[in-house]
Structure formats: structure tokens, C-alpha cells
Structure 1
């Protein structure tokens, strides 16, 4: 039996986040290209870092 430190709701939240983070990154990237504000750039950096962390299973 494999040990899993995450509770079921955390695993479900992680699966949901991994499905939605790529469309959010694409939308935010397009928005940043057309309306480049500091908030948009920071939000894009946060979304990309979350996507990388989910892909590499750091989170």
C-alpha cells in the first residue's frame, strides 16, 4: 500500500487546478500582450509558476 499524505479533497483540488491552469495562462498571456500592466504581468508569472509546479508535481 502506497502512502499518500494528501487528503481526498486536496487531491481533487489539485486535479481541478491542473485542468484549469493552462487555459488561465493562455488567456492571461493574450491579455498581457494587449493590455500590459504590472498586475497582468505579475498574474501571468504566478499562473505560469503554478502550472510548472503542478506539472513537475512539486505541489
Structure 2
């Protein structure tokens, strides 16, 4: 049986960090995408992929 994720059961400090992360992840992903277009290195591409996965995880409440 799978338990559903409830963000209100988290401690207040962890909820605040999660809320800040949600607000920052999209602009950071856009900036990293523009940077990757102009200066493509393998690290930039991996970081962009990680940021995209993290943004999707926040969008669908996986985290």
C-alpha cells in the first residue's frame, strides 16, 4: 500500500525550504538553458537535465 505525500506533515523549516525551491527552480532552469546554448559543456548539459527533472518533480509534487 502506497502512502500519499502530504507536505503539511513536514516540519515548518523544511516546508519553507521547499517553497523557496519551487520559486527559484524555474528562473534558474531558464538561465542554465541559455547558458548551455552559448557555452555547452558536459557539466552544463548534466546540470540542465538535473534542473529540468527537479522542476518537473516540484510541478507534480513528487518532492
- Taking structure 1 as the reference length, the TM-score comes to 0.91
Question: C-alpha separation between the residues in 2 aligned to 1:4 and 1:55?
Answer: 17
Listed as ranges, the gaps of 5+ residues in structure 1 are none
- Shift of residue 57, structure 1, vs aligned partner: 0.3
RMSD in angstroms over aligned alpha carbons? 1.7
Aligned residue number for residue 33 of structure 1? 37
Listed as ranges, the gaps of 5+ residues in structure 2 are 1-5
Moved over 4 A (4+): none
